[in-house]
Structure 1
Amino acid sequence: MEPISLGPPREERADAARNRAHLLQVARLMVDELGADKVTMDGLAARAELGKGTVFRRFGTRAGIFLGLLNEEETQFQQRILSGPPPLGPGAPAAQRLVAFGRARLEFLVQHSALCRAAIDPGQPVPMGHSPSRFHVQTMLREACPDVADITTLTLQLLAALEGPILLYVYSPDKTDPRPLVDSLAEGWRVLVERVCG
């Protein structure tokens, strides 16, 4: 029996898309003015002059608001990887790109640490396997380490040494200068990559 095609997924309605964009814009202003810890669903709804139900429909949870903001920043970061200058962007050997990626990613996570913390939903598992960087790291590893059979597992292991959860554990936003921490973690990442890709 042939499966019934339901067609492509429905696109977001124009008014829903406008509401989402407006809510993200207002949320960004509130984070800048008040700090992420002071932004609430009720406060966002009131400031945006929309119903609280609209905020829930767009984001689901308070963490969803910050995930939406973080996704916009992630898009810009991914663009640097795809088309920026080497060694982060195309044009350098894969191992060099991975080393550059590690430092850039750590700097990104420190810069957006308040959003990263606020985007973690305590009721959900940490979405390590769904890192937006997973495909890039996996592609670079496949090129740099063609003899490794299980690139997928190696990718997850390396990302676990780099992505948000470990950074949130060791970095506190009240530290005045995060550069020594970034330098230390970036050096550890370089050693990992060079030994793996040896």
Structure 2
Amino acid sequence: MERSPLPLGRPRTERADAARNREQLLAAAREMVAELGADKVTMDGLAERAGLGKGTVYRRFGTRAGIFHALLDDDEHAFQCQVLAGPPPLGPGAAPLERLVAYGRARIAYLLDHVTIVRAALDRHRPVPAEGGSMFTQAHIRMLLGRADTGVADLDSLTVQLTSALEGPFMIFLALPGSGPETDAESDAAFQRRARPLGAGWQTLVERVCHRP
């Protein structure tokens, strides 16, 4: 397994009963998202579905947006494990730039699979968070650029620019039409239409920017 550039996902030091409650709540939340859509998931509804007290749900997640942050955190941990210990070219064993292309394509696919949850995790009363997957993405891109013979002098600036091409709200903004209200299904369909060209665009960007003449 490749050494992680940052700590992986959520902490693993929970009490056994707390860990069971977390898994029970996350499983129930995933069921609700699949059956009802993210907009129908509520704190009270989740408590009822999971068969746990409302206080347990509020202590665990704090807010409704916290439910979706927890789902993303859980899936982010699994994604990072694939990057650090999975098969190449996403995992170790391929050339650095080949891994960089594979990472971008995989990250776009990850956001495609999670776009509804990502939107639901954005709390309109708070600034858009800069942490999360973007921290791992930035560290991983910087590591790969450092191992590649790119001929680029300022790898730190390039890392920031490449990270901004992949992560969070920027990807959602690129993927969704800008006019008129939409249902989750309509928005997800729009994201899927954009996913393939975004993946191809990422590969073109990496190959051109990191090409050493």
Q: Please name the residue that 1:81 is paired with.
A: 83
> Which amino acid in the other structure matches residue 200 of structure 2?
E
Select which of 118, 121, 132 maps to 2:120. Answer: 118
Q: Please name the residue that 1:94 is paired with.
A: 96
Aligned counterparts, 1:15-94, within 5 A: 15-94=17-96
Contact 1:63-1:119 within 8 A present in 2 as well: yes
Deviations 1:26-47 (A, max 9, x none): 1111111111111011111122
How many residue pairs align between the two structures? 190
Are 1:171 and 2:184 counterparts? Answer: no
The ranges of structure 1 where at least 4 consecutive aligned residues each deviate by more than 3 angstroms after the TM superposition are 145-153, 175-180
Instruction: Report the 3-state secondary structure (helix = DSSP H, G, I; strand = E; otherwise coil) of the residue aligned with 1:112.
Output: helix
Q: Which runs of 5+ in 1 are unaligned?
A: 1-8
Contact 1:113-1:168 within 8 A present in 2 as well: yes
Instruction: Report the 3-state secondary structure (helix = DSSP H, G, I; strand = E; otherwise coil) of the residue aligned with 2:91.
Output: coil
- Aligned-pair CA distance for 1:57: 1.0
- Aligned-pair CA distance for 1:153: 3.7
Instruction: Report the 3-state secondary structure (helix = DSSP H, G, I; strand = E; otherwise coil) of the residue aligned with 1:66.
Output: helix
Contact 1:128-1:160 within 8 A present in 2 as well: no
CA distance in 2, matches of 1:52, 1:140: 45
TM-score, normalised relative to structure 2:
0.78
Identity of aligned residues (%): 55
Which protein has the larger Cα radius of gyration, Structure 1 or Structure 2? Answer: 1
Contact 2:150-2:210 within 8 A present in 1 as well: no
* Distance change (3 Å), C-alpha of 1:62 and 1:152: farther
Select which of 171, 181, 193 maps to 2:206. Answer: 193
- Aligned-pair CA distance for 1:102: 0.9
